[in-house]
Amino acid sequence: MRAPSPTARPLLEAETLEKRYTVRRGFLGGRRSDLPALRGVSFTVGEGETLGLVGESGSGKTTAGRIVARLIEPDAGAVRFDGMDWLALEGSELRRKRRELQVVFQDPQTSLNPRMRVGDQIGEPLRIHRLASGAALSSRVRELLAAVGLPADLATRFPSELSGGQRQRVAIARALAAGPRLVVCDEPVSALDVSIAAQIVNLLLELRERSGLAYLFIAHDIAVVSRIADRIAVFYLGRIVEEGPAAAIIEKPLHPYTAALIAAVPDPAPDSLEPPRALGGEPPWAGQAPSGCPFHPRCPIARDRCRQERPELSDAGGARRVACFFPGELP
């Protein structure tokens, strides 16, 4: 893992992102409710840096990634990509700039077109952005397959003929085809076996070192995130509750929620007798977040202040931020 450069120019800047969904609840779904997915989230990704977004399902991390990828629009906030107002781009201008920001989705079985051959899918971004054609396009497809560790003859196959790991490598090759500077990886290994997931993470690391790519890496497994990320942002109920260098967070978490995520990771040591500790309780429904600190109903160190006031994400030293009144006071 590389140490993040404090002088790296921000490639992506997200500021105070807000997003709400309208959901139907009650008998036969007759009652509408607002579901806040993001509540004032801000983060940056530097050139060649990997920022990991981690949290339980429903924490808002995937919504943040989809906003960055312009798959959905925020209700409020701003996103700048390479210094440009990313949310203001439209039409041909957005299409031209979009080649620099690509996405790898969670399940390659659904993100790849089952009726298109692998080579055609990898070559599609090259055709759309007019980067290659004819023999040059075929040659570039073979190069991309080789870059992700796949033989050239897979270009003539359909996705259904490949394994899950091979399909995800094809999805990565397709994302790389247009020559992006930032890749949003939305749970790219959660649908894969552990050994295959490790291979994909190693592949992403190799591609980053080789090409200088930046990643926004989204996952619920903090062990996977810590393997690839330079910095980690921990999400809970639509907010970032802790952010900082990955090594520092794993070594000494400051927020009780971060500590619980780390404690839930199984110890790979063969002589370890201590089982992973599951976090107690379920996250409250996002539409009815508790008063005070949103984590206090599940927190082992919660006090009266935590039930009455919500802590803001504030500087904790060492390039770290935490939203906790008693950071580091873990059981």
Residue 71 in this model has a pLDDT that exceeds 80: yes
Q: Whole-model pTM above 0.85?
A: yes
Rounded to 10°, the helix 164-176/118-128 angle is: 20
Write out pLDDT tens, residues 99-139.
999 999 988 888 899 999 999 999 999 999 999 989 999 99
Structure tokens at 244: 């900082």
Spatial separation of the C-alpha atoms in residues 131 and 108, rounded to whole Å: 24
Q: How far is CA 263 from CA 9, 136, 155, 282, 323, in A?
A: 34, 50, 43, 16, 19
> What is the residue whose two structure tokens read 């996250």?
283
Write out pLDDT tens, residues 247-271.
999 999 999 999 999 988 876 665 6
Per-residue pLDDT at 323: 96
Instruction: Assign 217 to helix, strand or coil.
Output: strand
The whole-chain average pLDDT of the chain stands at 89
What kind of fold does domain 9-100+183-267 have according to CATH?
Rossmann fold (3.40.50)
% pLDDT > 70, the chain: 90
Residue 52 in this model has a pLDDT that exceeds 80: yes
Per-residue pLDDT at 6: 47
Q: How far is CA 321 from CA 3, 9, 66, 222, 313, in A?
A: 17, 20, 24, 17, 6
Instruction: Assign 16 to helix, strand or coil.
Output: strand
Angle CA(100)–CA(128)–CA(68) in degrees, nearest 5? 35
> Rounded mean pLDDT of 41-54?
96
Do 156 and 117 form a contact (C-beta atoms < 8 A)? yes
Domain with CATH 3.40.50.300 in the chain: 9-100+183-267
> What is the residue whose two structure tokens read 């062990």?
223
Write out pLDDT tens, residues 216-232.
999 999 999 999 999 99
Could you tell me where the beta strands, DSSP code E, fall in the chain? Answer: 10-25, 31-46, 50-54, 76-81, 84-85, 101-104, 182-186, 214-219, 231-236, 239-245, 314-317, 320-322
Residue 95 in this model has a pLDDT that exceeds 80: yes
Q: Could you tell me which residue, 283 or 20, shows the higher pLDDT? A: 20
Concatenating the DSSP letter of every residue in 226-251 gives: HHH-SEEEEEETTEEEEEEEHHHHHH
